[in-house]
Structures are given as C-alpha cells and as structure tokens.
C-alpha cells in the first residue's frame, strides 16, 4: 500500500537525499529516450513531456564557474505584478538594415524578421543536481524572458528535479555574445506545469505576452526553443486546434494544438503569433504510431495568473487542501481483510484547520460531501472547493464496525505547496 496526500500524489520519504536516486533516474531516462525513439504502449501512443521530454544525462559535469552568480533576491522589495513586468514593452522589431515588411493585418511578412526580433527572449536552461557533493548536469530545456529585470517562465517538468539552475541569454540581434547566469527558482506548479526562475540582470530582451483568446484555427505560429540542445531552433506551423483539454495528474490544461515541430528540449519555450507575441508556453507533444505533428502549448492567458501567483507567493493561490496523508484501501483489498475501503488516514497536519475537526489517525474516509473517494478522484473533488469551504467527511472510525460511520465537518485550508 502506498501513501498519498489528498491530491492523489504519492508521498515520497524526504529523509533520503536526491543523490541516492540517481541510478534509478538514469535508468528511467535511458528507458524514456528509447521509448521516444520507438513508441510505447498500445499502438505506441503517449504524451512525451513532463519529467523526461527534455532530458539529457551527462555525468561528472564540472562546475566551471563561468556563470554569473545571482545574489539573493531582495524579499523586502514590493512584489511586481505581471503588468508591472510587462510595462514599457512594445511589439518587437527586428534589428536589420533592410526595411521590414508587414502583412495587411500587421503581422510579419517574413519569418526571418520575426525570428530576429524575438529569438533572444528565449533562453537555454541547464538543470543540475547534487550528486555525491558534485554539481552534475541532469537536464536541459527552454524558457521565456518575461521582464527586463530577469523573470523567466518555463515548465515545471523542466526544473522539478533540479538543485541548481543556470540560464544562458543570447544577444544575437545586436551581434553581442551570450551570457550565462545562475538562476533562483521562484516558484513551481505541477498542476499547470509552469515554473518561474529569476536571474539578476537588467535590460534583458523580454518577450511581449499576447492574447491567446484572439487566436483562430489556421493562424500561423512559431515555436522557438532548444530541442536536443540545438539552441534557438525555430519551427513554423499553424494553430491546429484550440481549447484542447490535456490532463495532467491533477489538472486539465487548456492547450493550443499546433503542427509546428516540437521536440525534446522545446519544453518551456515560446509559441509566438505572427506579431511576435508569446501566445503559449510549449510543454507537450503527442507521440503515436498513428499520429504525427501534434504539439501542445499552455495558453498564455491561462498562464498569466499562475505566473503572477508564483512570483508574488511562490505557489498558486485559491486551491483547497484537506491536510492529511493517507493510504488508499481499494475494495478488493478491504473485502479480503475485512477492513473498510477508502482513505485510511496516516497523518494530520497539526497546523491546519483539520486538526481541530475530530478526525483521527487510523480513521478511514469513504466519502467527501457524499462523493465516493474509492471510485472518485479526490483531487477533482477538492478542485471544485475553495479554501475556507466546509466539507463533510463520511468516516469509519478505527476499531469500529465497518457498518458504523460518523460525519465529520472539516474546514478546508489553502494549499501553499508546502504540505
């Protein structure tokens, strides 16, 4: 039996340092690369992104100290809003000696001019882990500069396993050299697969965030990122679909579908419209023996509120939390051993409201507000709630008959990402 929290995430024992899991990680990475090359599962279908889509393995990477350290972020300074960060940014213009031509709707006529104008807003991210006291490269991905002072948005699955982060910023448009910075992880959100990094720099080539609600199927789009380590690679396509529901473990993302080529390492890069504005954050591709050219990006309008919360709070606000860990007892196991099926409580967070509800360790929760936790998805039940809401738990008390139940009212707390 595995332990879970109420978001249906398996509880990992924190006492073991990450470096002890490197062998398993490497084995999983090798398997993932093989799957990407040859297909997987029934008809070879699966979504390639999340943990392994951008992964490379490079043992014993030395710390060359060629990056610019980022000092600690000044937490006493007022937290900027996304509007503050985007203030003063205007539609990008290519730095070229020839006159730029535009279409009648204001979009770039030539892809080369658009790419020259926006490509420097895409950064190359190296993610390293601490392995036996040595800084070891673990994975690589892409990111989008969203402010001149160094805020960068990327995917959660790009950074989630890392201990150290470095960001390479290019200055191709002005003929300058690239520069690498140490980056600080500001916040992550696994539900929306978004994360924010911060480097200490000024006058960076920040991208302008567009309006993904104005997209139409058939619009041109451009994916810019670092697939397979090939820096600032560009692929062109169209918007193939809108409002696609792509499910993560606990959340349904509203995504843009595109036929622009998406490959390992594009994760966290930008999907641009014809005006040179970011309309999505690339995070997924569909791999199947029956399908090709199915790439997906998180809509920038959905991403904006998440980005703001990650910058200001380090987590996404407004999500309800019960405040327990539990073992899920399936009906087959329960009938075999004569115990109640449901969520058997393993621990209760003493700092949250649930600790005052009367719920006890060893109790088994069978329903939340009348919805079964055995056949239903606990995370989806809680997703419909807000912090401060009161829910009624149907509970079988430890040591009592399986037919005797109690009703316990619990006030939901806010999930700050720390439990």
List own/partner pairs for 329-338 with CB under 8 A and 24 or more apart.
Answer: 329/1, 329/364, 330/374, 331/374, 333/1, 338/402
3-state secondary structure of 272: strand
Domain extents in the chain: 39-65+106-314, 318-414
3-state secondary structure of 122: strand
Q: Which pLDDT score is estimated for 122?
A: 95
Question: Is the CA virtual torsion 343, 345, 348, 353 positive or negative?
Answer: positive
Of 202, 335, 228, 362, give the one whose Cα is nearest residue 285: 228
Q: Which two tokens stand for residue 38?
A: 């040859």
Q: Which two tokens stand for residue 233?
A: 């690679």
The distance of Cα 182 from the centroid of its chain, to the nearest Å, equals 20
- pTM flag (> 0.75): no
Q: Give whole-number Cα distances, 391 to 355, 394, 416, in Å.
A: 14, 10, 19
Are 154 and 125 in contact by the 8 Å Cβ rule? The answer is yes
State how far the Cα of 366 lies from the Cα of 373, in Å rounded to an integer: 6
Q: Which pLDDT score is estimated for 3?
A: 60
- For 245, half-sphere exposure in the C-beta direction (CA atoms, 13 angstrom radius) is 4
Q: Which pLDDT score is estimated for 263?
A: 87
Q: Which pLDDT score is estimated for 16?
A: 30
Pairing label, strands 390-396, 371-372: unpaired
Q: Which two tokens stand for residue 417?
A: 């990402």
Q: Which pLDDT score is estimated for 25?
A: 39
39-65+106-314: what fold?
A: Thrombin, subunit H (2.40.10)
Instruction: Please report, in tens digits, the pLDDT of each residue of the chain (419 residues total).
Output: 556 566 555 444 333 333 333 333 333 333 332 212 222 222 333 344 443 333 333 333 334 344 555 555 555 567 788 887 877 777 666 555 568 899 999 999 999 999 999 999 999 999 999 998 889 999 899 999 999 999 999 999 999 889 999 999 987 766 678 899 999 999 999 888 999 999 999 999 999 999 999 999 999 999 999 988 888 899 999 999 999 877 655 566 789 999 998 888 899 999 999 999 999 999 887 776 676 788 899 999 999 999 999 999 999 988 899 999 999 999 999 889 888 999 999 999 999 999 999 999 999 999 999 999 987 678 878 888 999 999 999 999 876 655 678 999 999 999 887 54
Residues serving a catalytic function are 157, 193, 267
Which of the following CATH numbers is that of domain 318-414: 3.30.420.40, 2.30.42.10, 1.20.1050.10, 3.30.160.70?
A: 2.30.42.10
Q: Which pLDDT score is estimated for 173?
A: 66
Q: Which pLDDT score is estimated for 313?
A: 92
């Amino acid at each position: 039996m595995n332990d879970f929290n109420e978001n249906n995430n398996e509880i990992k024992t924190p006492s073991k340092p990450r470096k002890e899991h490197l062998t398993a990680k490497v084995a999983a990475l090798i398997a993932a690369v093989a799957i990407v090359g040859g297909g997987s599962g029934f008809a070879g279908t699966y979504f390639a992104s999340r943990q392994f889509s951008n992964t490379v393995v490079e043992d014993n990477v030395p710390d060359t100290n060629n990056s610019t350290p980022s000092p600690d972020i000044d937490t006493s300074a007022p937290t900027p809003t996304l509007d503050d960060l985007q203030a003063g940014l205007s539609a990008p213009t290519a730095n070229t000696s020839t006159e730029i031509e535009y279409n009648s709707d204001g979009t770039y006529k030539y892809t080369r001019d658009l790419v020259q104008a926006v490509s420097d807003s895409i950064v190359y991210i190296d993610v390293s882990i601490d392995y036996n006291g040595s800084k070891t490269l673990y994975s690589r991905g892409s990111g989008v500069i969203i402010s001149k002072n160094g805020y960068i948005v990327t995917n959660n699955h790009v950074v989630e396993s890392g201990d150290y982060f470095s960001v390479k910023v290019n200055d191709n448009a002005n003929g300058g050299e690239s520069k690498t910075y140490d980056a600080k992880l500001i916040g992550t959100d696994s539900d929306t697969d978004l994360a924010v990094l911060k480097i200490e720099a000024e006058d960076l080539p920040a991208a302008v965030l567009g309006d993904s609600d104005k997209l139409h199927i058939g619009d041109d789009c451009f994916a810019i990122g670092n697939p397979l380590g090939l820096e600032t690679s560009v692929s062109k396509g169209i918007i193939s679909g809108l409002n696609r529901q792509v499910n993560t473990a606990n959340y349904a993302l509203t995504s843009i579908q595109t036929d622009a080529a998406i490959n390992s390492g594009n994760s966290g890069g930008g999907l641009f419209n014809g005006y040179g504005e970011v309309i999505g954050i690339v995070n997924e591709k569909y791999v199947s023996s029956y399908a090709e050219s199915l790439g997906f990006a998180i809509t920038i309008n959905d991403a904006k509120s998440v980005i703001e919360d990650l910058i200001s709070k380090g987590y996404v606000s407004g999500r309800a939390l019960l405040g327990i860990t539990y073992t899920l007892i399936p009906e087959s196991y329960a009938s075999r051993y004569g115990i109640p099926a449901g969520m058997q409580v393993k621990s209760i967070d003493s700092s949250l409201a649930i600790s005052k509800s009367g719920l006890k360790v060893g109790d088994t929760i069978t329903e939340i507000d009348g919805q079964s936790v055995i056949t239903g998805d606990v995370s989806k039940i809680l997703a419909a709630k807000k912090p401060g809401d009161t829910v009624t738990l149907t509970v079988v008390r430890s040591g009592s008959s399986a037919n005797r139940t109690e009703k316990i009212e619990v006030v939901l707390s806010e999930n700050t990402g720390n439990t």
